[in-house]
Structure 1
Amino acid sequence: MRIPPLDSALVFLIFWLLSGIVFLQFFTRYVLNDSIGWTEEIARYLLILVTFLGSAIAVRRNTHISVEFFYRYLPKHLARLLSAVVDFLRISLLGIMTVLCIQLSNNTQQMMTSIDVSKSVLYGFVAGCFCLMTLYSIIAAWRHVLEGKLDVAPDVPASWEE
């Protein structure tokens, strides 16, 4: 039995928590005709968590949507250069987003409406997800340097030699 990575297990747990809260919201609103007020806000925040943690998983698995046209038709040396530039830009963007989310989290004083928790907790989680994405991007870039792989999609050749 293979144990899933921690981020996959966490997103699975948050997703099912989100599903339960949305079902509770639906049940109380349409069956009991008396909806619970906090379910809508918490469902919104859980959806944000699932989205950003899912994005981190997509970076780890290298399954984000990408434009593969140039990799297919450029000469080997230019394709490697393009891959390095794309890796550098992705790492830079995700690193900047990590720093900005940390600053936002540190500067946020606002509380959630329905429960007594600061929104900085939510922003901190998003910053953590951006940090994970940055680390996974660095690992992917290093793998590209060592192995010379494109690694952008299953139907793209594993190396430029093919």
Structure 2
Amino acid sequence: MKPAPASSSTVLPRWIQRGKTAMEHVDRATAKVLVAAMGIMAVLVCAQVFFRYVLSSSIDWADEISRLMFVWSMFLAIPHGVRAGVHVGIDVLVQFLGERSRNLIARAMLGLSAVLSLVVFYYALIVVIQKWEELMPTVDITASVYYIPVLFAMLHSFFHLLLLSCAGPDLWRLEESS
């Protein structure tokens, strides 16, 4: 049975609705972590500038933790871009095709992207395991914390891409425009 295309007048299959609801919960949670990471990064950078230029001192760990928060915020933002469909795409030839052909190609590319996200997840997991014993230079935390957000981002992106490839590329856009 083929899933119905997502439109404001079409009711989506129950499993797609459940997947959408689950992804909305995950999106809200990761958005909060993303905002917190960006806030921590901003506070640490400002504090470091103040300490260096006003107090002629330095916070040893501030550069490393702010860099870590930057990495986390960048990777946690990727699935939100996937959901909104705002990542770079090349559609020079596809724009000349009919609506049905564009939709089929989009779904195929979303499916291939989902597979690619699992491949990246797998290799990131290997790196996390390999780096687990290594510690960060200024903080007693595993160096794997730089690679863990890749795991989250790829898994989160995989579920968005899977949902979009099954329900259609306009799944989230139709809801946001109404």
| TM tier, smaller | 0.7 to 0.9
Q: How many pairs align?
A: 148
Larger CA deviation: 20-29 vs 70-79: 70-79
**1:55-92 Cα shifts (integer Å, max 9, x gaps):** 12211232222233334211334323321221122111
Q: TM-score with structure 2 length normalisation?
A: 0.74
Does residue 1:30 correspond to 2:30, yes or no? no
Corresponding position of 2:117: 94
Question: Matched residues in 2 for 1:77 and 1:8: separation?
Answer: 33
Question: Matched residues in 1 for 2:151 and 2:166: separation?
Answer: 23
User: Quick one: higher RCO (CA 8 Å, sep 6+), 1 or 2?
Assistant: 2
Identity rate, percent: 20
Match of 1:151 among 170, 173, 178: 170
In 1, are the aligned partners of 2:114 and 2:161 still within 8 Å (CA)? yes
Unaligned 5+ segments in structure 2 are 1-24
**1:12-49 Cα shifts (integer Å, max 9, x gaps):** 11110110001111111111111111111111111000
Q: TM-score with structure 1 length normalisation?
A: 0.81
Amino acid in structure 2 at the alignment position of 1:115 = V
Larger CA deviation: 58-67 vs 100-109: 58-67
In 2, are the aligned partners of 1:59 and 1:137 still within 8 Å (CA)? yes
Question: Matched residues in 1 for 2:108 and 2:163: separation?
Answer: 15
Question: Matched residues in 1 for 2:161 and 2:111: separation?
Answer: 9
Question: Matched residues in 1 for 2:93 and 2:167: separation?
Answer: 20
Amino acid in structure 2 at the alignment position of 1:20 = V
Does residue 1:6 correspond to 2:29, yes or no? yes
In 2, are the aligned partners of 1:70 and 1:79 still within 8 Å (CA)? no
